[in-house]
Amino acid sequence: MMNKQTQNKIRVIPLGGLGEVGRNMMLIEYQGKILVIDVGFRMPEEDMPGIDFIVPNIGYLKGRTKDIVGVVITHGHYDHIGAIPYLLPKLWHPHLEFYASALARGIILKRQEEFPGQPPLRINEVKDGSVIKLGPFEVEFFKQNHNIPDNLGMVIKTPVGNIIDTSDFKFDESPVNDKPTNFEKLRSIGKRGILLLMSDSTGAEEENHSLSEKTIEKNLEEILKKSPGRIIAATFSSLINRIQQIITLSEKYGRKVVIEGHSMKSNVEICKVLGYMKTKKGTLIKSNEISNYPDSKITIICTGAQGEESAALMRIATGEHRTIHLKKGDNVILSSSVIPGNERTVQVLKDGILRQGVKVFHYKMMDIHAGGHGQEEELKEMIKIMNPQYFLPIHGQYSMLVAHGELAKMSGIPEKNVIIGENGQIINLNNKGYTIEKGKVPSNYVMVDGLGIGDVGEVVLRDRQMLAQDGMFVIVAAIDRQTGKVKGSPDIISRGFVYLRESKDLLKETRKKVIGIINQTSGSNGVVNWTYLKDEIKNKIGQFLFYKTQRRPIVIPVILEV
């Protein structure tokens, strides 16, 4: 695989996060030694029934785990850490070390408790200014502002030049519970000479500058001021800054705060222990204490802003929550959905809440991606500060990567040095140029469904989609062992296709066809080619049903010998 030409080049291999939002995972390889940056997951698309998450494909690392010099983590958002428990068993070897900030480490380890029987996960704590030597690489971490504290960008010193991974970031002069962006530090890094800048593209299609956390707080306060009753704010469990803001504002207005939702409770707990969240004594109460206070003194912060079925807000809205029920006078703050295609679910949730006489504020700035990511001006500024030889937009849909590439050109990066990459590509790079190899490494979706990782592939998914669209049609027929002919009348069972009782004629015709196919296919002496027979029934009945109904149910023949 390695020849002279590529020997003194660095290989940059994105396994996820390019052309999609989430599932971030990047490999930096030099002479066979591999540095892994982030191990994130993403949410499934709307047409993936039953799929919980999509994780990176690590086929490229198969048999090479001993070459991994370390796994470095930028921050504690699930699109950067979420796949760890699913991939750790495959990534693991006795010397595998992770590196993460205190908060990211806390979140990872806490979540790991839900996955018993995993190999031991060793995470070393790093912080702003930490420098670690990992094989041929030297990684220096630097603080970046985002909507979760303890977020680290990194400059990776390699034998061929410096590479920067910005992590998710925005420039914020007035952040919440955090220091403002340290431009001096960023400029000093840029002055070292940067071979490659890999920068967060999530906000690349948005004009101007992202809102400061202070501004977001002001907007939230407006809603709080206007709400005489209880406030029920649904947001993301990892959006630590937003949770903090709502707590602080609630304290300002004398409200007690209830945290609802398993993941949110545990994140708040970790943040408090590690000092990333500040609450006054007595602010946080349990949900069964709500009735001790007037409605005007209660804020409930919960999960479920996307209409997730099992999340706290859904349970509250549908009356299934143990202690919290909606009532007139409540005010629900809903953040807009992250996943394109989830809008309908959120709409249904919203309508369901409104029907109960409750006010709903749909506040987009509480979205995990809005507000947390640098926009046009910040992205250009980052490029100017780092002034890299090459630019690789990361973290984002393809259109975001392209938009970010345009910003790079505007910021003085020559077009030929702007690399719009895709997952699975192998980018070979040094200061003399770069090439993208013809062959790709595996980067297709690995889907998580319940306990299964990767066992639901394209075929299973296609079946599910077909079942969801046109249902299924089972034909049970008995064949006489002696004659090879159908015995009795075939049984038909269908789900999600047509209402059988009202389709008697269709069924009658189908039965006749089935009998015909079987009798024609089986030999006169009773010899039956089972595979051929089943295929014949599948194809011919499939065609027939389509001709009659313009639908394509999954046809399942069950043939018994009697």
User: Which range, of 135-143, 160-168, 386-394, 415-423, touches Zn ion by CB under 5 A?
Assistant: 160-168
Q: Does 206 bind Zn ion (CB under 5 A)?
A: no
Query: Judged by CB, which is closer to Zn ion: 202, or 227?
Result: 202
Q: Within a 13 Å sphere around the CA of 11, how many CA atoms are in the beta-carbon half?
A: 24
In whole angstroms, give the CA distance from residue 4 to residue 558: 59
- For Zn ion, the closer CB: 6 or 235: 235
Instruction: Give me the least distance between CB of 408 and Zn ion, in Å please.
Output: 21
Residue 168 or residue 367: which is nearer to Zn ion going by CB? Answer: 168
Report whether 190 contacts 386 (CB < 8 A): yes
Question: Which one from 38, 168, 200, 367 is the annotated catalytic residue?
Answer: 200
**What does the H/E/C string look like for 89-134?**
HHHCCCCCCEEECHHHHHHHHHHHCCCCCCCCCCEEECCCCCEEEE
Taking CB under 5 A as the criterion, the residue among 77, 265, 315, 464 binding Zn ion is: 77
Task: Please state the closest distance from residue 169 (CB atom) to Zn ion, in A.
Answer: 9
Q: Which is nearer to Zn ion, 211 or 475 (CB)?
A: 211
Between residues 104 and 475, which has the closer beta carbon with respect to Zn ion? 104
Burial state string for 399-416 with b = 16 or more CB within 10 A and e = fewer than 16: ebbbbbbebbeebebeee
Q: How far is the CB of 77 from Zn ion (least distance, A)?
A: 4
Q: Please work out the total of residues on this chain that contact Zn ion, with binding judged by CB under 5 A.
A: 2
Distance CA 444, CA 464 (A): 18
Based on the residue annotation, tell me whether 455 is a catalytic residue of this protein: no
488 within 8 A of 518, measured Cβ to Cβ: no
Task: Indicate which residue of 75, 369, 373, 404 is catalytic.
Answer: 373
Which lies closer to Zn ion via its Cβ, residue 144 or residue 510? 144
Q: DSSP letter string over 465-528?
A: HHHHHH-EEEEEEEE-TTT-SEEEEEEEEEESS--GGG-HHHHHHHHHHHHHHHHHHS-TTS--
CB neighbour list of residue 59: distance below 8 Å, 6 or more residues apart = 441, 442
Contacts 24+ apart (CB under 8 A), 265-272: 266/110, 266/111, 266/237, 267/107, 267/110, 267/237, 267/238, 267/240, 267/243, 268/243, 269/110, 270/103, 270/106, 270/107, 270/110, 271/103, 271/106, 271/149, 271/240, 271/244
Q: Is 200 a catalytic residue?
A: yes
Residue 467 CB, shortest distance to Zn ion, in Å, is: 35
Per CB under 5 A, the segment of 76-84, 298-306, 523-531, 551-559 that binds Zn ion is 76-84
Q: End-to-end distance of the chain based on CA atoms, in angstroms?
A: 58
The nearer residue to Zn ion, 168 or 470, going by C-beta atoms, is 168
User: What is the nearest approach in angstroms of Zn ion to the Cβ of residue 76?
Assistant: 8
In contact, 71 and 99? CB cutoff 8 Å: yes
Phi-psi region of 107 (alpha: psi -120 to 50; beta: other; left: phi over 0): alpha
* Minimum separation from the CB atom of position 150 to Zn ion (A): 11
Residue from the set 168, 172, 178, 367 that interacts with Zn ion by CB under 5 A: 168
Residues 404 and 418: their CA atoms lie apart, in Å, by: 10
Specify the stretch interacting with Zn ion by CB under 5 A; choose among 98-106, 168-176, 328-336, 424-432.
168-176
Structure tokens at 233: 């704010």
Least Å distance between CB 546 and Zn ion?
Answer: 46
State the nearest-atom distance from the C-beta of 399 to Zn ion, in Å: 19
Residue numbers at the binding site for Zn ion (CB under 5 A): 77, 168
Catalytic residue set: 200, 373
